[in-house]
Amino acid sequence: MPEAAATLRHEFLRHDKKFPHVWCPGCGNGIVMGSLLRAISGLGLEKDEIVLAAGIGCSGRLPTYVDFNTLHTTHGRSLTFATGIKLADPSLTVISVMGDGDSTAIGGNHFIHAARRNLDLTALIINNSIYGMTGGQYSPTTPFGSRSTTSVHGHIEQAFSIAELAVTAGAAYVARSTVYHAELLDKLIAGAIRKKGFAVVEVISNCHVQYGRRNKLGGAVEMIRSYKQNSIRVEKAASMKAEELEGKITIGVLADRELPVSTEEYEKVRQRARETK
Amino acid sequence: MYKTPSQRILLQGNEAIVHGALAAGCRFFAGYPITPASEISEMLSVELPRVNGTFIQMEDEIAGIGAAIGASLTGVKSMTASSGPGFSLMQENIGFACAAEVPVVIVNVMRGGPSTGLPTSPAQGDVQQARWGTHGDHPVIVLATSTVEDCFTVTVKAFNLSEKYRVPVILLSDEVVSHTREAVQLPAMDEIRIIDRITPSVPPEWYKPYENNNRGVPAMSAMGSGYRHHVTGLVHDERGYPTQNPLEIEMFIRRLHSKVTKGFGDIQVTTPLMMEGAEVAVIAYGSVARSARRAVIEARKQGVRAGLLQLTTLFPFPRRAVDKVMRHCKTLIVPEMNMGQISREVQRVNHHGCRVIKHNRVDGNFITPAEILKHLITA
């Protein structure tokens, strides 16, 4: 509904920030931002109790536009700042938005440890398979054979599967969507924020300007249409063979488990410490 | 709640740093193990939960300082501790703390360098790095400890300065000071002056997180306290939003530096010993200052008009105190366990044509009083 969207914009976008935003026309980041705001609005959280941290990149520019406690950190390190924030003040809802390079290249180590630690944080990873802000260099999720400014003759490395990486690293909640499946994304982000523990939502997004253009994938419309055509629900994919899933994007909740949450465990440590001399 | 031990107690330098931090109100530590700083982590892992604080061992030093900065943004006094290799890793995030003006104390227990160096031997080779380690024009305060008692009081001072000027403070210890055990009587809590960051006194609608006020230090709100704003490492305007406007950029860079310059009198901490009537002076810091004290006392006994200016503050370089010494001491001796990192500062402010004698020991061993005394006698 247009009124609902206008209300959302009025409530959550900063009134004193210099718009227009820096993103290209058709960038999927806008859909992710809308989804995040719809999820937060639906959960009825207070703006004051939300911290939105980000790293560096196009995804890193998201927090500056929204009216929460926002933090734009160094490249790859937003989860480490988020860890300090959450431990020092567990009453805050801490969300970290990152790109594929920010979270799995320079931030890879922090990503797997944050997952292992199971701190009550939400990681929202916008995966557009490229370093967009810096002009189109390859990232850990750029597919084999792709063209980028640093792989003009075709990329020779394999790509990470971010959600699967999060599952293996021990995250309590792991989900994936694409920017085509915006309604699903709203639900997954809400589920991730509600989840007590480390929650990861990976969003496949389009960078048609840096990645799509160089790989003849079309513009925003063509790329988003391809997400619609190539996505398969996790439940359906479970009964399919590996060859059938080649090149497909599995969407939905990949993992949702109960594990001890560090902030709660640490309270027990404090109790034990106070009891000892 | 935390209270300093009431009796004289045998403490290791690193333990005294921990007591200083707790007394100053530090309630968050994030770090990574490294010789010779690990005792700080170990002791804080036990003491912080006791006073309702938080300790976490992170996956590397970059994560350690990242978490400490994050915690500080929620209003909690935070710290990290490491040695050379870890200190090198932290530089980018130290720069973030400078740019976003987040109070944080970084302890660097110096050991032999460069690289893996000499993990269990003392050195003072990180002095210039502490000043310039992170890129770009930035202010930073660097303090040095030389005794176990010092480890307590200078740590308190480090937190106070960090809170007052909203700047990262680097506390340089070294392997000797940190691993020395001495009997010390720590001051009682009501004798210790604690400074907290100033929080906003205006309603959120009027709050400018990076305001160019008369002190040059903006009031700092804690995340979650009702003052929602943006914190970034990008050069930003008074509201915290990134800017490319030349006037706003210049105002930001200059205010960042002038806030520290304005506080020079407060920040410059030096201790003279026997400087009355001195003709030759030793300028020393860290553990070397102890050897220098003994050398000066011995020299005076032998009739040499020697004095010592001990530097607790290394940066901003205490040029006023050094200038005063240079007016009547025409020979200065600067003993250090490095290739001359403070002597070059002394030379820089030498407008009196004084002779500056460097005594540089870089063999992983401690500078003895005898080495310094030799210079005082032959000077």
pLDDT tens digit at each of 379 positions of chain B: 899 999 999 999 999 999 999 999 999 999 999 999 999 999 999 999 999 999 999 999 999 999 999 999 999 999 999 999 999 999 999 999 999 999 999 999 999 999 999 999 999 999 999 999 999 999 999 999 999 999 999 999 999 999 999 999 999 999 999 999 999 999 999 999 999 999 999 999 999 999 999 889 999 999 999 999 999 999 999 999 999 999 999 999 999 999 999 999 999 999 999 999 999 999 999 999 999 999 999 999 999 999 999 999 999 999 999 999 999 999 999 999 999 999 999 999 999 999 999 999 999 999 999 999 999 999 8
Domain boundary among B132, B166, B191: B191
Average pLDDT taken over every residue of chain A: 96
Same domain, B258 and B275: no
Please give the structure tokens belonging to residue B205: 């609608």
What total of structural domains would you count in chain A?
1
Q: Number of H helices and number of E strands within chain B? A: 13, 16
B67 touches chain A (CB under 8 A): yes
Tell me the chain B residues in contact with residue A83 when contact means C-beta distances shorter than 8 Å.
30, 56, 58, 63, 66-67, 70
Closest CA–CA distance from residue B349 to any residue of chain A (Å): 36
B355 touches chain A (CB under 8 A): no
Q: Which residue of A has its CA nearest to B205?
A: A16
Three-class DSSP labels, B136-184: CCCCCEEEECCCHHHHHHHHHHHHHHHHHHCCEEEEEEEHHHHHCEEEE
Residue B19 included in any domain:
yes
Residues A45-73, mean pLDDT to the nearest whole number: 97
B233 touches chain A (CB under 8 A): yes
A18 touches chain B (CB under 8 A): yes
For A76, the domain range is 2-275
A74 touches chain B (CB under 8 A): yes
Q: Residue B22: which of B52, B61, B60, B56 has the closest Cα?
A: B52
Long-range contacts of the stretch A267-274 (C-beta < 8 A, 24+): A269/B49, A270/B49, A270/B50, A270/B52, A272/B49, A273/B46, A273/B49, A273/B50, A274/B49, A274/B50
Residue B197 included in any domain:
no
Same domain, B158 and B54: yes
Tell me the chain B residues in contact with residue A88 when contact means C-beta distances shorter than 8 Å.
27-28, 54, 70-71, 74-76, 78
Same domain, B242 and B177: no
Same domain, B322 and B242: no
Beta-carbon contacts of B86 under 8 Å, excluding residues fewer than 6 positions away, are: B32, B34, B37, B61, B64
Query: Does residue A17 register a pLDDT over 90?
Result: no
Residue B153 included in any domain:
yes
- Decide: B232 and B96 in contact? Cβ < 8 Å: no
Note if the bond before A2 is cis, omega within 30 degrees. no
Q: How many residues does chain A have?
A: 277
Same domain, B305 and B159: no
Same domain, B278 and B308: yes
Q: Which residue of A has its CA nearest to B235?
A: A72
Residue B1 included in any domain:
no
- This model of the complex carries an ipTM of 0.97
Residue B182 included in any domain:
yes
Same domain, B134 and B235: no
Q: Number of H helices and number of E strands within chain A? A: 10, 8
Residue B363 included in any domain:
yes
| Cβ <8 Å between A72 and B72 | no
Mark B50-67 as b/e (b = at least 16 C-beta within 10 Å): bbebbbbebbbbbbbbbb
Same domain, B129 and B23: yes
B5 touches chain A (CB under 8 A): no
Same domain, B303 and B176: no
Same domain, B288 and B360: yes
Residue A194: other Cβ atoms inside 10 A: 14
Q: Which amino acid is at B176?
A: V
Q: Which residue of B has its CA nearest to A47?
A: B228
Domain CATH for A130: 3.40.50.970
Tell me the chain B residues in contact with residue A115 when contact means C-beta distances shorter than 8 Å.
none
Residue B239 included in any domain:
yes
Mutate to test the interface with B, among A40, A66, A75, A83 (most CBs of B within 10 A): A83
Q: Which residue of B has its CA nearest to A21?
A: B242
The sign of the CA dihedral B295, B297, B299, B304 is: positive
| Cβ <8 Å between A113 and B224 | no
What total of structural domains would you count in chain B?
3
B56 touches chain A (CB under 8 A): yes
Domain CATH for B142: 3.40.50.970
- Decide: B234 and A72 in contact? Cβ < 8 Å: yes
Distance (Å, whole) CA A192 – CA A175: 8
Residue B4 included in any domain:
no
B136 touches chain A (CB under 8 A): no
Domain boundary among B222, B239, B265: B265
- Decide: A43 and A68 in contact? Cβ < 8 Å: no
Residue B33: other Cβ atoms inside 10 A: 12
For B140, the domain range is 9-191
Same domain, B120 and B212: no
Q: Which of A48, A84, A89 is the closest to B30 by Cβ?
A: A84
Same domain, B32 and B180: yes
pTM: 0.97
Please give the structure tokens belonging to residue A139: 């990232």
Closest CA–CA distance from residue B46 to any residue of chain A (Å): 7
